[in-house]
Structure 1
């Protein structure tokens, strides 16, 4: 299993510019939920002090449409397993996506607010392009 911690570059040589659709919006993954099959409510959970409902679903790769463009550019194989935690206000609190042996978790802390983003120091980043190419070819990462 590949575990990603810190800041990684996962979009290949072209970087984010290689994605032809999407807005860089961290909620982009939620837009795949209409394609979900096998949706199951896991239960209620307290997440960072919020009461949430945790559900899981599978999104078949062939049903992703334009929402799957970033994953195709990364060469990610297979269906996507997505877990989502929704708070009492109906707002996503967390999203976890598993594609192959790679899992990406996003916590949604605040909606409707802007924030200045500062690039991390180079020493805290890694280029994952070759690892994803190996995954695409079915080799060990």
Structure 2
């Protein structure tokens, strides 16, 4: 199941985090040569995205070592819910993967690949906290993965010294303004964040993720539509395993998210399975 869980978390989401203003940390000093107007526009879009209660997005592109990935994610902060459906091909984690979060319960699905590991059943059920959650981080580190959300990644663009306005472009039928810049992962690691600010912590985790991938320079593109709404985010980099190129398209802003639990007859309840055995480790 380790391979299945790794494949599921190809992409993180903010679903398990609260909406608390992802870029309200103003403590990091900008380079003297930064372009004030583009940075301000990007910051407004990031701030607005952090305050959303629910959103859906499509993701597609290439992940080094994983091949081509595509999928859709819908999440809501209150009530807490997530529906993630991903597909990977041409890499080590080839196949379809799903995650459904309903309150404090997570359901992980992996099609026939999961069925082969779960005695014919396609879903694994486990709590986000407590015994059977995969350790103190919950669900084998799902919370840490969840902190690598698009808002945190987009906020890194405000830390670039060369943010520029590329121009007007139509994306998904929406008239947008395209902004772009490159950030140095090494410089971001050395830059102190505000203590006790959740947004700063999530940004630090996003930077750490890129460091672990061997990324030195991260190229970010952001397309901002009417009312400072982020329409698209693209991240590109060269990693230790090859190129990374992911695009995220946002839609269904603040619309209700309904997630249904898989049939109990097709689900393995990990908490029940390991009840009385001191918890499960996955």
TM-score band (shorter)?
0.5 to 0.7
Q: Which residue of 2 aligns with 1:108?
A: 250
- Aligned-partner Cα distance in 1 for 2:252–2:147: 18
Q: Aligned to 1:108, what secondary structure does the other structure show? A: strand
- Aligned-partner Cα distance in 1 for 2:259–2:223: 25
Q: Report the alpha carbon displacement of residue 30 of structure 1 after superposing the two structures with TM.
A: 1.0
1:88 has 2:226 as partner? yes
Q: 1:72 aligns with which of 204, 207, 211?
A: 211
Gaps spanning 5+ residues in structure 1: where? Answer: 10-14, 119-141
Higher-Rg structure is: 2
Q: Deviations over 1:41-67 (max 9, x none)?
A: 111011111110011100111233413
Q: Report the alpha carbon displacement of residue 34 of structure 1 after superposing the two structures with TM.
A: 2.2
Q: Which has the higher contact order (CA 8 A, sep 6+)?
A: 1
Q: 1:5 aligns with which of 64, 69, 73?
A: 69
> Please, what is the CA RMSD of the aligned residues?
2.9
Q: Report the alpha carbon displacement of residue 107 of structure 1 after superposing the two structures with TM.
A: 0.6
Q: Aligned to 2:227, what secondary structure does the other structure show? A: coil
Maintained 8 Å contact 2:182/2:217: yes
| Cα distance change, pair 54–114 in 1 and its aligned pair in 2 (3 A) | same
What TM-score comes out, normalization by structure 1 length?
Answer: 0.64
- Aligned-partner Cα distance in 2 for 1:25–1:55: 19
Q: Aligned to 1:5, what secondary structure does the other structure show? A: strand
Q: Which residue of 1 aligns with 2:171?
A: 47
- Aligned-partner Cα distance in 2 for 1:70–1:54: 25
More divergent stretch after superposition (55-64 vs 92-101): 55-64
- Correspondence 1:10-49 to 2 at 5 A: 17=141, 20=144, 23-49=147-173
